[in-house]
Structure 1
Amino acid sequence: DILYICYNNESYVDMDIHYFAGGGNRKGGRAHADRRRQQPQKNIMEIMAAHHVPYCATACAAYPDDLANKVKKALSIPGFKFMQLLSPCPTHWEIPSELSIELTRVAVQTRIFPLYEVEDGTKYEINILPETFAPISRFLSRQGRFAHLSADAIRQVQNRVESQWRQLQRRVELSHGGVSGQAKAKPEKQAAP
């Protein structure tokens, strides 16, 4: 029985956004990652689901009750379990340390990092449903690492987030027999500290 917690500091998301947004970096050149990576980052949660891992989930420190509940649930399930924990790196994100928790909350509100769980690779559940969805610019604009992005690049990222959110909603619906499972998701105002 293993619970693997992957601390995701989004180093590859930085490269991924550059890939979708034209590849420029904040110094005006091409992002070095463009030479190495010619496809978007892999979705580790979907990889785990495809392998029918008994339990996998996303979490972040901005929602401590959700995080604690997921750890408790994971530890109660036999076999391999996986959690992806959004963990800001103030140096890499170019933010003051005191914004770390707030930006993980904004990541959930913008849906670039939705909080959900998957059981046995087939049963999807969104755990925290933002009251209103914030635009991706609210997440990107507060980080120095994205200061160079154009309005068009930000629109492309927003479109990708919307597409991935629709895919997640569809997986939730399919795992509930075609009926939306979002009724079980906690509204953000009840779950946030």
Structure 2
Amino acid sequence: MRSISEMAGQELLWTQPAAFQREHELRAGDDVVAILKFQRGSLADAEAADGHWTFKRQGFWQPRVTVRTAGSDADLATFHPRWVGGGTLEFPDGHAQRLSSANFWQSEWVWQENEKPLIRIKGRHGLIKANGAVEIAPDAANIPDTALLVLLAWYLILLHAEDSAAATSVSAAAASSS
């Protein structure tokens, strides 16, 4: 696999090779540059040339997503969502990255640093497959966490889509029973 940081300025696409399977590939043309695979529930394995991590949503009243180096029990970073969408990824050394929705429909998400967009991801979700486009700004190529941010954003977008679908199903069921 090639480094995601080297892909700044190139078109990258998230694809879901098989319908109904929770495995996604980030592609630069025909090359796979990253893989995100859900193991069970919200636990996912994220792999790129730049690193190998696991992501897991935890908590109910104060939800968060933990990021760990694969095979480790120590948190590398923690994503704290905001109730209006987006959130902040905090590292133990104190630095943080902010993820926010770029539009009302929450179909486009942006990692920002000092109000400057670094990585933009546009998700498209069909009935049985999800895909998306990734834009990496030239400034993001110099950030050591670029690959982690790209993979974590897609993970969060997928969780958001699953949560929205579940809420819609519950609402539809409640409406049909009344």
TM-score above 0.5: no
Under a length normalisation based on structure 1, what TM-score does the superposition of the two structures give? 0.29
Which structure has greater helix proportion?
Answer: 1
Which structure has greater strand proportion?
Answer: 2
The structure with the largest alpha-carbon Rg is 1
